[in-house]
Structure 1
Amino acid sequence: MSGAPTLHFHTDAGEFLAEAGDHLAANAVIGTVVATVAQRQVARRADGVTPPEDDWWLVVRDASGAVVGAGMRTAPFAPRPPFLLPMPDEAAVSLARIWHERGEEVRAVNGALPAVRRCAAEVTRLGGGRVEVAQHTRLHELDDLAEPARAPGALVTATGDDVDLVAEWFGAFMADADEQAGRPRGVSAHETPDRAELLRRIRDGRVWFWTDETGRRVHLTAANPPSFGVARIGPVYTPPEQRGRGWASNAVAEVSRRLRAEGARVCLFTDQANPTSNRIYANLGYRPVVDMANLVIVS
């Protein structure tokens, strides 16, 4: 029997979770993105929303049949980058070869290092081009929460009446993050949730504003519902004119406290090119777990 890992593709998120759920639960922080998206897709299917036909979910098994990796291609934005969790190097290379054999064009790969680097390198070896880093990210988990210097104001939960402002700030988040990291605005491809999804998050009580002493909304922090006991914070957005006043530190601290009170472990991503956000979260008690990258393949 060959010792090489085997790759198993699924088009149904529920079937994927049935196979990979134990693996995701055992690595719940590292698997937060895949688990969250899979559970969201299951919920949408139950509501009658059919996912795109070309979405897929990946389970990697070793020679004994144990799950040793996972991934997905569900991104609704171009170029629809697959997202890979840690997996053996052999599996990452085999994945690129499968794409090549079936003519599946892949122009970007996101996820955990070194898997995404191995996979993207094989994509270029087979199809040409070169790999460039669009963004280096780092996933952190909250250790002991450290209280920030107190800022005036309070955290309030968003309501349906706030959906337009929530949509505006969700949309501004990534472009501003690019600018803060020294990249051209809008260069990082990302998903902007549609109005229905934003309303669902608001309805679920997963979007908050920090308000200043006058009650004006000056900052937004959101979070995903827990998956396998882990809640992921994001996005965290402060408009440019409101930065440097402690809103983000205070909002993220309070949201983290509330999520912990629900019994969840708490994690978040940082952009490694943004020293400000990395410093804020480190000061709050967030500790690095795994490095990830968004890689693009250019001609």
Structure 2
Amino acid sequence: MSFPMAGLRLRFCTDPGEILAAAGDHLAANPVVSTVVTTIAHRVLSQRADGISQPDRNWWLVVSDDSGAVVGAGMRTATAAPYPPFLLPMPDEAAVALAYALHERGEQVLGVNGALPAVELCAAELARLGGGRVEVSQHTRLHELGELVQPTSAPGALVVATEDDVELVTEWFAAFMGDADEQAGRRRGTSAHQVPDRSEMLRRIQAGRLWFWVDETGERVHLTGANPPSFGVVRVGPVYTPPAQRGRGWASNAVAEVSRRIQAEGARVCLFTDQANPTSNKIYAALGYRPVVDMANLLIVR
């Protein structure tokens, strides 16, 4: 389904393969900024190959201009209410046009995540059309690693998670998301992100993209994950240390080692931080991560 708008065309599709085919060159031109859309598109394709279907509400968006050139992209694939769309950078008028298109489609949209200023413009127009006000849930920042700076060494080592770790990994994923809610001023458990179910968690473990840092006694004291590469970019996350283990250098050493391994594979490395969390921002800056783009998670309150 497509919506022509004064000099723009918004094309909605249900198959992530369509957005990768139609907007692949556009996404590949800035693969760090595009990382969320491309990694989820590839993940959904992989799940579909295994017979796992996505909800009917999901869509993928390609924005093109009069010449047919792709100038923006987005998706609506969130797994928890309010199922906010995620927008990549696009022309201002496209972000406003998207709000009109969603309103015309009859979609209830009570949140918008993604790149600034597109999310602000889209959310403001949605609030104007449907009533309500826009509130900031979280300001995030996407960083890319330049030259890795090794942190002060901490005792222990990085070990890959195994299927025997699925319960602990699931518990720490949930704790990570709960902490993110609290740091953003939300009630724990209100995030638009959902902890992967057991089958999805096992898929991630089997892919070898989840690691623990273990201390000198072999105790698991920290978890770092990473997505499979997409257009030559790997996004690190989650990064979680239980409260009792914080302040000992586990996170710095684990992220540094995971980042080193990813760069050794020939991929670029990126990660998100909560702008309201000065501790994590300081840690990543010390490792050599540099800001790329600011994003936001916005709510429309009615």
Structure 1 residue 230 and structure 2 residue 246: aligned?
no
Structure 2 residues not aligned, in runs of 5+? none
The alignment of Structure 1 onto Structure 2 pairs a total of residues equal to: 299
1:63 matched residue in structure 2: 66
| Alignment-mate amino acid for residue 66 of structure 2 | A
Offset of 1:183 from its aligned partner?
4.3
State the superposition RMSD in angstroms: 1.3
Q: Give the alignment partner of residue 122 of structure 2, picking from 82, 105, 119.
A: 119
1:133 matched residue in structure 2: 136
| Alignment-mate amino acid for residue 173 of structure 1 | F
2:274 matched residue in structure 1: 271
**Pair 2,32 (structure 1): closer, same or farther in 2 beyond 3 Å:** closer
2:220 matched residue in structure 1: 217
Instruction: State the SS of the aligned residue for 1:266.
Output: strand
Contact 2:5/2:97 (<8 A) preserved: no
**More displaced stretch, 2-11 vs 98-107:** 2-11
Q: Distance in 2 between matches of 1:84 and 1:152?
A: 41
1:150 matched residue in structure 2: 153
| Alignment-mate amino acid for residue 83 of structure 2 | R
Q: Distance in 2 between matches of 1:210 and 1:188?
A: 26
Structure 1 residue 16 and structure 2 residue 19: aligned?
yes
> Which residues of 2 match residues 25-64 of structure 1 at below 5 A?
25-64=28-67
Contact 2:78/2:192 (<8 A) preserved: no
> Which residues of 2 match residues 197-212 of structure 1 at below 5 A?
197-212=200-215
1:87 matched residue in structure 2: 90
| Alignment-mate amino acid for residue 46 of structure 1 | A
Q: Distance in 2 between matches of 1:175 and 1:50?
A: 27
**Pair 293,2 (structure 1): closer, same or farther in 2 beyond 3 Å:** closer
Contact 2:156/2:214 (<8 A) preserved: yes
Instruction: State the SS of the aligned residue for 2:221.
Output: strand
| Alignment-mate amino acid for residue 50 of structure 1 | S
Q: Distance in 1 between matches of 2:192 and 2:97?
A: 25
1:250 matched residue in structure 2: 253
Offset of 1:197 from its aligned partner?
1.1
1:100 matched residue in structure 2: 103
Q: Distance in 2 between matches of 1:187 and 1:274?
A: 18
Instruction: State the SS of the aligned residue for 1:122.
Output: helix
**Pair 110,272 (structure 1): closer, same or farther in 2 beyond 3 Å:** same
Offset of 1:2 from its aligned partner?
8.4
Q: Distance in 1 between matches of 2:64 and 2:247?
A: 47
1:240 matched residue in structure 2: 243
Instruction: State the SS of the aligned residue for 1:219.
Output: strand
Contact 1:3/1:62 (<8 A) preserved: no
Instruction: State the SS of the aligned residue for 1:43.
Output: helix
Q: Distance in 2 between matches of 1:277 and 1:212?
A: 21
What TM-score do the two structures reach when normalised by structure 1?
0.97
What TM-score do the two structures reach when normalised by structure 2?
0.96
| Identity among equivalent pairs (%) | 74
Contact 1:57/1:71 (<8 A) preserved: yes
Q: Distance in 2 between matches of 1:183 and 1:126?
A: 26
Structure 1 residues not aligned, in runs of 5+? none
Structure 1 residue 4 and structure 2 residue 13: aligned?
no
